[in-house]
Amino acid sequence: MADGPAGAEALIEKLGVGIDAELLERALTHRSYAYEHGGIPHNERLEFLGDSVLGIAVTVMLFTTLPDLDEGELAKRRASVVSTVALAEVARGIGLGDHVRLGRGEEQTGGRDKDSILADTMEAVFGATYLSAGPDAAEALVLRLTEPLLKDPERYGAAMDPKTSLQELAARLGRTPPSYSVVSSGPDHNRLFTATVTVGDLSRTGEGTSKKTAEMAAALTAWRALNDGDDARHD
């Protein structure tokens, strides 16, 4: 988290809602930081709450604005909006990674841009908003931040099915088809997968708790780069 009140104020300004300072700090505290500082409270309980806030807000919005869609299509759209890769994209849009409090290990391994950490922190912020400002304010925040995904059909489709979207975009641009490699680390009960996707000279990575989610995260990151015209290699 950025030092001093200015950092918190900058984030609150982007969020556009008042959040209790102590709750916001907790929402931004990853467990790795908490463990290194004497076991102080971290954001996982707020993440649990925020997950429900996110789910109900998106569900009600889809149900009320898309009356012609059946249950299966509604569920598919909701899943794409609340997915780790989509939430990480939302978090990057407000620079949330700059404010997360991380332990040394996570800091050194690029934790500020890990999809899982960004998505979990975003949910914790939703939970903190619910407790600070109430359900209406929390729901409004969720919908405002996720709206770009729903308004941009291509970006929405990429969040829903990143691997297919990347393959189609690469073909349209005349690039070589995406190729993936995956490595894993950590103990069996807490395995972390890191996928790297390469499309011509473009290389991007993503992480997840399974090979599939890691590849999806990498694919969405690569899709964003190609779609935005960023062809620089990223290690």
DSSP string covering the chain, please?
--SHHHHHHHHHHHHTS---HHHHHHHTB-HHHHHHTTS---SHHHHHHHHHHHHHHHHHHHHHH-TTS-HHHHHHHHHHHTSHHHHHHHHHHTTGGGG-B--HHHHHTTGGG-HHHHHHHHHHHHHHHHHHH-HHHHHHHHHHHHHHHHH-HHHHHHHHSHHHHHHHHHHHTTPPPPEEEEEEES-GGG-EEEEEEEETTEEEEEEESSHHHHHHHHHHHHHHHHHTT--S---
| Phi, psi (deg, nearest 5) at residue 125 | -65, -40
Whether 106 sits among the annotated catalytic residues: the reply is no
Whether 123 sits among the annotated catalytic residues: the reply is yes
Rounded to an integer, what is the distance from CA 194 to the centroid of its chain? 16
197 bridge partner residues: 180, 204
Catalytic residue among 25, 51, 89, 139: 51
Determine the pLDDT at residue 152.
Answer: 73
Place of tokens 């990143």: 162
CA-closest candidate to residue 124, choices 161, 87, 160, 157? 87
Catalytic residue among 123, 139, 207, 215: 123
| CA distances, 51 to each of 45, 125, 161, 171, 183 (Å) | 10, 10, 21, 36, 28
Determine the pLDDT at residue 157.
Answer: 72
11 in Cβ contact with 94 (< 8 Å): yes
Determine the Cα–Cα distance for residues 171 and 111; give it in Å rounded to an integer: 32
Determine the pLDDT at residue 230.
Answer: 63
Determine the pLDDT at residue 6.
Answer: 44
| Binding site per annotation, positions | 47, 120, 123
- The answer for residues whose C-beta is within 8 angstroms of residue 45's C-beta and 6 or more apart is 127
In one letter, which amino acid is 74? L
Q: In the structure encoding, which two tokens stand for residue 159, read together? A: 């969040």
Per-residue pLDDT of the chain (235 residues; tens, 9 = 90+): 433 334 678 888 889 998 999 999 999 999 999 999 998 999 999 999 999 999 999 999 999 998 998 998 888 888 888 888 889 889 988 999 999 999 998 888 888 888 889 999 999 999 999 999 999 999 999 999 998 877 776 777 777 788 998 999 999 999 999 999 999 988 877 788 999 999 999 999 988 888 888 898 899 889 989 988 765 444 4
| Binding site per annotation, positions for Mg(2+) | 47, 120, 123
